[in-house]
Structure 1
Amino acid sequence: MAVATVDEAEFAALKAEIAAWVAGPGEEWANRIEETGDVPPELFAELKDRGWLSLAAPAELGGRGIPFSRYLELLELISKSHGSIRMLVHVINGTWRAMAPYATPELLDEVVKPSVAGDKLVAFTLTEPDNGTGADITTSVRREGDDYVMNGVKHLITFGVKADYLLIAARLEGSTGNDGTVAFAMPNRLPGAEVIDDSDTMGVRGTDHAILKFAEVRVPAKYRLGEEGQGLEVALGGFLLPSRVSVAMSAVGLAERAQELAIEFSKERVTFGKPLAQRQVIQFYIAENFGRIAAAKSLIIQAARTYEQGAPEASALSSAAKMIAVEMLATVTDNALQVFGGRGYWKKNAIERVYRDARAQRFEEGTNEIQKLVVARAAITGEANTEGILNW
């Protein structure tokens, strides 16, 4: 599979633009989001106008066609900002991957292209209160003429309150396993659907989350993505696999922000006549953070490249990258907070927000327990091994 290239001068200018925005206006927006608990429409409009919601999609869908592995360089920078800003850029630059290969021309025009343009918001809708790994979903549909009738509950759905459409996976009534799953790109709030705002979270403040209840909701069949039986192929391969790599890189970006804050504070804070940066214990924290970030980033880049090439190790590496990156992020942010001592516990310091936002990535796009199952299965069956990965 050929991987597209970028104009390096233009790409460097784009990276500089994002970095400057994150350090300046981005911090102002972050403070406003923390104060209000909401992402204002003006911020969404600014991200759209800057073209940051359509970085990765191909030109035929209205995007800028930046290759996945290079797009991650941009997401890394954006992830140094507020968690809700990163979430918008990450999700909108990803949902088209699941929808486009399976969408009819009509769905491309109604849902996919407007999503890439930032005119419509699509929420990825998989997790259920008692199910979340994919094949165990119980939200069901049955075919009645030109409609499917949906029943069930989804929860922890990011953007589920404000979304215009839902990228949702369900299963045919009476089916089990993967073969009975069906995916839709359906309008939110169809008659019979209840949307419950469940947005009061520890971190990533401002991003709305919903509980969605469906009771005999009629979904026109024209909103189906692909064929019956392809539901998990759409949800897992089309969205979750690359999204896990994206979450991993966002963990790198946030860890780098925590490291920057810790280094800056260690140079300013003086105890017993000497800056913290000159104390060995603080230097050890900073050195450990540096090594962990660099190691995780290397694995993520490898995962991105195998995904671009369609290599057999892509799924295992996607989960491995996410698994390693979020564990790294937990350690790095904890070390960074420790450098601040008690001061880091107060909300007036950015490290406090970074610490809270970091915790969400431990379960975003699947917990590490799920990632370990994916990696273990691939390793045991021989679908992925370290020799093949290193020689790729």
Structure 2
Amino acid sequence: MTADGRGSAVPEPDYRDLLASVTAWVEGPGEEWAGRIEATGTVPDALWKELRGAGFLALAAPPDLGGRGLSFVQWMGLMEVFSRSHASVRMIVHVVNGTWRAMNPHAEEAQRRRFVRPSVAGDLLVAFTLTEPGNGTGADITSSVRRAGDTYYLSGRKHMITFGVRCDYWLLFARLEGSTGSGGTVALLVDRHAPGVEVEDTSDTMGVRGTDHASLTFTDTPVPVANRIGAEGDGLAVALGGFLTPSRISVAMSCVGLAQRAQQLAVAYSLERTTFGKPLASRQAIAFALAENAADIAAARALTLHAAQAWQDGAVDAGSLSSMAKLTAVDMLTRVTDKALQVHGGIGYWKTMPIERVYRDARAQRFEEGTNEIQKAVIARHLFRRSDAAAADDAGPAKAPAPAGAPTVLE
């Protein structure tokens, strides 16, 4: 068993039963919750309690952390179904079933007892807190800490932090004061109620209604050194090492699930809507659009499962494949939801139609876990490195030069 749970799995009959129960929940109570969330713009505590009680927040983690112990490929099968539900439901299960992957490989046993296991159980909500308003999401972070004895004092700003309002802790990434590069970064669990923190609720978004987001300002906020995950200098390794690749694959599968929901709605509407005495489904233009959607979804799903298997197996190209899957799936989702809305005609633009929410929610996937431009840079860097390594092998001991202009973004 590895710290990221890649050695875990449940028997196939148990998995099929679990898949059936998740599907039944998504198509039943999940749809009722979707209506309530859209009507109020908030996710009530009762939904969190229901998801936790059903065990849906502890599916992906290994049994030694209190999880169900699904393999990563099995977990992606459930994410596909959850993603057909409201985007806030998908966001909850995606985040809570994922943040332990960042913490666990670097945590001490006392930190597992205090933070990781309660997070897996859904008793403690940890918000991933990396993005800053004036920087990217890599070694250029500027939020900083200075250490005095057993306490760090944190200053800086973070924004677009999912669950940053309602969380118990922020899993926050900063740098040691005066340091540069990734070597000076630290990962800290910052108490949501620590002094010196200003929390601004920025939850009024186009889609993914109900999921809270926050902008955060820290001014000499005290953080115990005991709340540091990993060593000084490990901050970006915690943030990106065991978390980003599987999270990108999960987002890709979220695109697949949401596209399936859009397609389901479009197919049903094309069969029930009649124009000039014939159902829309009999119109070749409509039929071809839905056929294109079906092929598009199947192709993205296959690539995403391929990336999931690669990460589960520890393949060296899993990082590149995760970016390929995310890039492909998010572009697919854009095409599928646009055609699905077009099939509905003007009525699809009204909020009374489920496709309207699906269309809005789909746009958010283009930003989550990196834009398409970032994914292309990651893929290109992998291609250049592979070519560089092949050239070095052909040349013998001397290393071939890197190509000019090769991307240098963090994966």
Q: TM-score, normalised by structure 2?
A: 0.92
* Aligned counterpart, 1:227: 231
1:284-332 Cα deviation digits (max 9, x unpaired): 1111111111111111111111111221101111111111111111110
Q: State the one-letter code of the partner of 1:320.
A: M
* Aligned counterpart, 1:239: 243
Equivalent-residue separation in structure 2 for 1:148 and 1:271 (angstroms): 67
Instruction: Using the TM superposition, give the Cα deviation of residue 383 of structure 1 relative to its aligned residue in structure 2, in angstroms.
Output: 7.7
* Aligned counterpart, 1:80: 84
* Aligned counterpart, 1:288: 292
Unaligned residue ranges in structure 1 (runs of 5+): 386-392
* Aligned counterpart, 1:333: 337
Unaligned residue ranges in structure 2 (runs of 5+): 390-411
Q: 1:306 to 1:383 in 2, by over 3 A?
A: farther
The runs of at least 4 consecutive aligned structure 1 residues that moved more than 4 Å come to none
Q: State the one-letter code of the partner of 1:247.
A: V
Equivalent-residue separation in structure 1 for 2:48 and 2:238 (angstroms): 27
Q: State the one-letter code of the partner of 1:297.
A: R
Answer yes or no: is the 8 Å Cα contact 1:312–1:383 preserved in 2.
no
Q: State the one-letter code of the partner of 1:211.
A: S
* Aligned counterpart, 1:122: 126
1:365 partnered with 2:338 = no
Q: Indicate which of 377, 380, 389 corresponds to 2:381.
A: 377
Equivalent-residue separation in structure 2 for 1:43 and 1:277 (angstroms): 37
Q: State the one-letter code of the partner of 1:353.
A: R
1:210-249 Cα deviation digits (max 9, x unpaired): 0011111111100101111111111012222111110000
Equivalent-residue separation in structure 2 for 1:379 and 1:61 (angstroms): 37
1:94 partnered with 2:98 = yes
Equivalent-residue separation in structure 2 for 1:5 and 1:61 (angstroms): 14
Q: Indicate which of 55, 61, 67 corresponds to 1:63.
A: 67
1:184 partnered with 2:179 = no
Q: TM-score, normalised by structure 1?
A: 0.96
Answer yes or no: is the 8 Å Cα contact 1:61–1:113 preserved in 2.
yes
Equivalent-residue separation in structure 2 for 1:94 and 1:4 (angstroms): 15
1:201 partnered with 2:205 = yes
* Aligned counterpart, 2:398: none
Q: State the one-letter code of the partner of 1:14.
A: L
Q: 1:235 to 1:70 in 2, by over 3 A?
A: same
Answer yes or no: is the 8 Å Cα contact 2:8–2:62 preserved in 1.
no
Q: State the one-letter code of the partner of 2:144.
A: S
Q: Determine which structure has more spread, i.e. the larger CA radius of gyration.
A: 2
* Aligned counterpart, 1:297: 301
Q: Indicate which of 237, 245, 248 corresponds to 2:252.
A: 248
Q: SS at the partner of 1:45?
A: helix
Aligned residues: 385
Instruction: Using the TM superposition, give the Cα deviation of residue 384 of structure 1 relative to its aligned residue in structure 2, in angstroms.
Output: 11
Instruction: Using the TM superposition, give the Cα deviation of residue 4 of structure 1 relative to its aligned residue in structure 2, in angstroms.
Output: 3.2
Equivalent-residue separation in structure 2 for 1:189 and 1:311 (angstroms): 41
Instruction: Using the TM superposition, give the Cα deviation of residue 97 of structure 1 relative to its aligned residue in structure 2, in angstroms.
Output: 0.5
82-91 or 102-111: bigger deviation: 102-111
* Aligned counterpart, 1:33: 37
* Aligned counterpart, 2:265: 261
Q: Indicate which of 24, 45, 50 corresponds to 1:46.
A: 50
* Aligned counterpart, 2:397: none
